[in-house]
Amino acid sequence: MQSPIRRSAELPSATRVLAICAHPDDIESWCGGTLALLVERGCEVRLAVCTPGEKGSADRHVTAAQVAETRIREQRAAAARLGISAVRFLDGRDGELEDTQNFRAQIVRLLREFQPEVVFTHDPEHPYPPYIAHRDHRVVGRVVLDAVYPAARDHLFFPEQLAEGLTTHAVSQVWLFASLIATTAIDISTTLERKIVARLDHRSQTGDPDDLRVSWRDRAAAIGAPFGLPAAETFTVVVL
C-alpha cells in the first residue's frame, strides 16, 4: 500500500474561520498556532467550545461548577491571546456529549449565523491518540461534519432557523486536527510561542509551566520534522 503524501501547506484562503472543540485547551493544543497565523492575515476567527470541561479535575476540593467557571474564564483569556474575536460556550456537559438532533441543530445554527468558509474541528474517524481519544472529541467531530454537510447547506434541514431569518451556508473546507492520518502541515514557527502562552492561560490544567514550554516546543519540532518544518501543526483537510 502506498504511503500517504506528506506536504507542508499554505493557510486556507478564508475571511471567516470557525473552530469548534469539545473542551477548554483543545484549540490551543492542536491548532492554536495556525489560528494565530490566520488572524495575522486578517481572517476573523471565532471559537465554539461544546463543554466547559467541568469533570477534568483531580482536585477533590472543588465542585464541577467551580471547575467550569474557572475554565470558561481561562479559555476566554487564551482565545484573546490568539486574537480570536469571539468565544461561545454551548450547553454540553463534559463526558456526556451525544450525537443528537439537538446538538447538530446547535452547530448548524453556528454555521448559518457566522457563515465561515473554513471550519476546524476534531477528527472523529481517525482520532489521535488511537483507542483512547476522548469520546467527546469523537462526538464533536462527527456532529460538526454532519452539520457542515449536508445540514447547514440544505434548506429543508432545520427550516425553523430559516424562518428566524438565518440563511443556508456551504462550508468550503474542514480542517481536522488531532488526526492520526494527518498529511497536511502548517509552519507555526512564528506563532509557536504565542500558542504556548495561550495554553499557559489554562492555569488550572497546568502543572509545571516550564516543563510545558519545553515539551510543547519539542512536540512542535517533532511534528514538523517529517515535513522539513521547524515547528508545525498537522491536519487532515476535507474539501467540500
Q: Which domains does the chain possess?
A: 7-239 (3.40.50.10320)
pLDDT band at 59 (very low <50, low <70, confident <90, very high): confident
pLDDT at 3 over 70: no
Burial (CB < 10 A; 0-12, 13-18, 19+), residue 89, is middle
What mean pLDDT, rounded, does the chain reach? Answer: 95
User: For 169-184, what is the mean pLDDT?
Assistant: 97
Q: φ and ψ at 90, to 5 degrees? A: -85, 180
pLDDT band at 84 (very low <50, low <70, confident <90, very high): very high
Pick from 6-15, 35-44, 123-132, 229-238: least confident:
6-15
pLDDT band at 187 (very low <50, low <70, confident <90, very high): very high
Give residue 2's pLDDT.
Answer: 40
User: For 149-176, what is the mean pLDDT?
Assistant: 98
pLDDT at 103 over 50: yes
Chain segment 123-142, per-residue pLDDT in tens = 999 999 999 999 999 999 99
User: For 87-91, what is the mean pLDDT?
Assistant: 98
Q: Which residue stretches of the chain are H helix?
A: 26-40, 64-82, 101-114, 135-146, 159-163, 192-200, 209-224
Residues 163/213, Cβ–Cβ less than 8 Å = no
pLDDT band at 10 (very low <50, low <70, confident <90, very high): confident
What is the distance between the alpha carbons of residues 181 and 188, in angstroms, rounded to a whole number?
19
Provide long-range contacts, Cβ within 8 A and 24+ apart, for 96-100: 96/51, 97/22, 97/50, 97/51, 97/135, 97/136, 97/139, 97/140, 97/143, 98/139, 99/139, 99/142, 99/143, 99/146
pLDDT band at 182 (very low <50, low <70, confident <90, very high): very high
Rg of the chain taking only CA atoms, in angstroms: 17
pLDDT at 79 over 60: yes
pLDDT at 7 over 70: no
Give residue 90's pLDDT.
Answer: 98
User: For 72-89, what is the mean pLDDT?
Assistant: 98
Q: What percent of the chain has pLDDT over 90?
A: 93
Give residue 222's pLDDT.
Answer: 98
